[in-house]
Amino acid sequence: MAKNKHINVDVKDVLKTVLVLALIAIVSGGLLGGINAVTYISDDEMLSRKIVNLYTADSFINLSTTADENFAVEKEIVNKYNKGSKNPSLALLPVKNGAVEENTVIYRVYGAGDYDCTLLVLVVDDKITKISVYSSSATPGIGDKAYKDTYIKQFNGLNLITAEPFVVVKNNASKDNEVNAVAGATKSSEAVKNAVNNAMALHKLLKGEAK
């Protein structure tokens, strides 16, 4: 019968090893925290960076948070529209030379889907003038084909007041509210459409109720 072998453990060595590992963990955590602090971009800063590619203005009035009493009704409409939403929309009024640009608004809107996205939609005189991608979960080179001009420009010039909610069709769009899906990117095509429909819904509320 084999005898039990006794292993002598030096408590000091064990403690030393634990301390070394703890120090490594602390240093690593500090380095990662420092990197995150340096590379972190706030939502406001991200918005400023993205929006400059869409429209140039001195500043923007965020109707969700503005303290300007002149836009109290609009603020209430936007916040009511966003109530309970995990991805709230923004409505931004550009300001140039101290004055709000007339009949111009930029929406940051979310499009739900398997490949969701957030868009910036520039609306002038109730018509979509330009759309740019704020963020997306689509696979680069595949699903993101729906963010190219060929697809997005189908919405340009459409009146958000008179138009019906958009519908994605596989080909041969024949109605004003139909847009052709991008081959191989149907899911992201749907997400873009959903985002634009959100912009339409909010725009109609603002124009219809904020007299």
The continuous run of DSSP H or E covering 61 comes out as: strand 59-62
Query: Residue 136's pLDDT is what?
Result: 83
Q: Which residues contact 120 (CB under 8 A, 6 or more apart)?
A: 50, 51, 54, 106, 107, 108, 131, 132, 133, 134
Contacts (Cβ under 8 Å, ≥6 apart) of 96: 57, 58
Q: Give me 11's structure tokens.
A: 């408590």
The predicted structure's pLDDT at residue 196: 95
What is the pLDDT, as a whole number, of residue 44? 72
The pTM (predicted TM-score) of the whole model is 0.76
| Mean pLDDT per 10-residue section of the chain, whose length is 211 residues | 55 69 71 54 75 86 94 95 93 93 94 88 95 83 75 88 89 81 83 94 84 44
Between strands 59-62 and 104-111, the pairing is unpaired
Structure tokens, 197:
């429909």
- Can you give the pLDDT at residue 211? 44
Structure tokens at 74: 């609009």
What pLDDT is attached to residue 172? 80
